[in-house]
Structure 1
Amino acid sequence: MSSDNSSWNRFARLKVSSKDVNKRLRKIEKGSLRHAHKFVTSRLDRLSNVRRRVSVWIILVLVMIGASAVQWHISRNSFTTMAYTSGGSYSEGVLGPLENLNPIFAKTNAEKSAAKLLFSSLYRYDSTGNIKADMADSVSVNDKETEYTVKLKKGLKWSDGQDLTADDVIFTLKLLANPEVGAEISGWKSIKFEKVSDDSVKFILPSSYSPFVHALTFPIIPKHILKDVKPSNLREHDFNKSPISSGPFAFRLLQNVTSDGSKKVLYLQSNSNYYGGTPKLERFQLYAYPTQDDIAKSLRTREITGTPELIYNDQSAEVKSMCRQKRIL
Structure 2
Amino acid sequence: MSSDKSSWNRFARLKVSRKGVNKRLRKIEKGSLRHAHKFVMSRLDRLANVRRRVSIWVALVLVMIGVSAVQWHISRNSFTTMTYASGGSYSEGVLGPLENLNPIFAKTSAEKSATKLLFSSLYRYDSTGNIKTDLADGVKVNYKETEYTVKLKKNLKWSDGYDLTINDVIFTLKLLANPEVGAEISGWRSIKFEKVSEDSVKFILPASYSPFVHALTFPIVPEHALKDVKPSNLREHDFSKAPISSGPFAFRLLQNVTSDGSKKVLYLQSNGNYYGGTAKLDRFQLYVYPTQDDIVKSLRTREITGTSELIYNDQPAEVKSMYAAESHSLNNGVYALFNNNSQFLQSKSVRQALALSVDTGKLRQSLSSSIEELSGPILNKFLGKASQPLGYDTKKAKSLLDAEGWKVVDNARQKENVKLKLNMVALKNNNYEKAAQYLAQVWRNELNIEVDVKVIDPNDASQNILQTILQPRNFDVLIYELSLGGDPDVYAYWHSSQATNNGLNFSNYNNAVADDALESGRSKLSLKQRSDRYEKFANTWKTDAPAIALYQPKFDYIHIRSVRVLDEKTEVVNPVDRYVDVQYWAAEKQSVYKTP
TM-score by length of 1: 0.75
List aligned pairs for 1:275-290, cutoff 5 A. 275-290=275-290
Gaps of 5+ in 1: 1-64
Deviation string, structure 1 residues 81-101 (Cα, Å, up to 9, x no partner): 665421100000000011100
Say if 1:313 and 1:96 are closer, same or farther in 2 by CA, change over 3 A. Answer: same
* Distance change >3 Å, CA 82–CA 215, structure 1 → 2: farther
Partner-residue secondary structure (3-state), 1:127 = coil
Q: What residue identity is the alignment partner of 1:211?
A: P
| Aligned-partner Cα distance in 2 for 1:302–1:259 | 22
Which residue number corresponds to residue 51 of structure 1?
Answer: none
Residues 84, 153 of structure 1: CA spacing in aligned structure 2 closer, same or farther, 3 A cutoff? farther
Give runs of aligned pairs for residues 42-191 of structure 1, distance below 5 A.
76=78, 79-80=79-80, 83-191=83-191
Cα deviation, 1:13-44, whole Å, max 9, x if unaligned, reads xxxxxxxxxxxxxxxxxxxxxxxxxxxxxxxx
1:326 Cα deviation from its structure 2 partner: 2.3
The 1:212/1:318 distance shift into structure 2, 3 A limit, reads same
Q: CA–CA distance in 2 between the matches of 1:187 and 1:203?
A: 13
Shift of 1:80: 4.8
Aligned-partner residue type, residue 282 of structure 1: D
Note the alpha carbon deviations across 1:254-305, whole angstroms, 9 max, x for none: 0000000000000000111111111111000000000000001101100000
Counterpart AA for 2:154: K
Q: Given the superposition, is the C-alpha separation of residues 131 and 82 from structure 1 closer, same or farther in structure 2, using an over 3 Å criterion?
A: farther
| Count of aligned positions | 260
CA distance in 1, matches of 2:188, 2:83: 43
Q: Render the CA deviation track for 1:185-224: whole Å, top value 9, x for unaligned.
A: 0000111111111211111111111110000000000000
Report 1:171-320 matches (<5 A): 171-320=171-320
Structure (1 or 2) with the greater helix fraction: 1
What secondary structure sits across from 1:189 in the alignment? coil
Query: Secondary structure of 1:169's match?
Result: helix
Deviations 1:144-193 (A, max 9, x none): 11111111110001000000000000000000011110000000011111
Matched, 1:326 2:326: no
The alignment partner of 1:167 has SS state of helix
Secondary structure of the corresponding residue to residue 202 of structure 2:
strand
Could you report, residue by residue, the CA deviation over 1:236-259 in whole angstroms, capped at 9, with x for unpaired residues? 100000000000100000000000
CA distance in 2, matches of 1:281, 1:258: 27
Q: Please, which runs of 5 or more residues in structure 2 have no aligned partner?
A: 1-66, 325-558, 567-596
1:246 aligned counterpart, secondary structure: coil
Hey, what's the Cα distance between the residues in 2 that align with 1:85 and 1:315? 30
Distance 1:135 1:83, change over 3 A: farther
Q: Secondary structure at the match of 1:213?
A: helix
How much has 1:318 moved relative to structure 2? 1.3
Structure 2 match to 1:32:
none
Shift of 1:129: 2.5
Q: Give per-residue Cα distances to partners, 1:99-139, cap 9 Å, x unaligned.
A: 10000000100000000000000011223422211111111
1:12 aligns with none
**Aligned partner of residue 307 in structure 2, secondary structure:** coil
TM-score, normalised to structure 2, is: 0.42
- The letter for the 1-side match of 2:224 is H
> Quick one: distance in 1 between partners of 2:299 and 2:318?
10
- In 2, Cα distance between the equivalents of 1:326 and 1:261? 27
- SS in structure 2 of the partner of residue 254 of structure 1: strand
| Aligned equivalents of 2:107, 2:212: Cα separation in 1 | 22
Quick one: distance in 2 between partners of 1:81 and 1:150?
Answer: 44
Query: Alignment partner of 1:284: what SS?
Result: strand
Q: Please give the root-mean-square deviation of Cα atoms over the aligned residues, in Å.
A: 2.1
Within 1, Cα distance between the matches of 2:215 and 2:156? 21
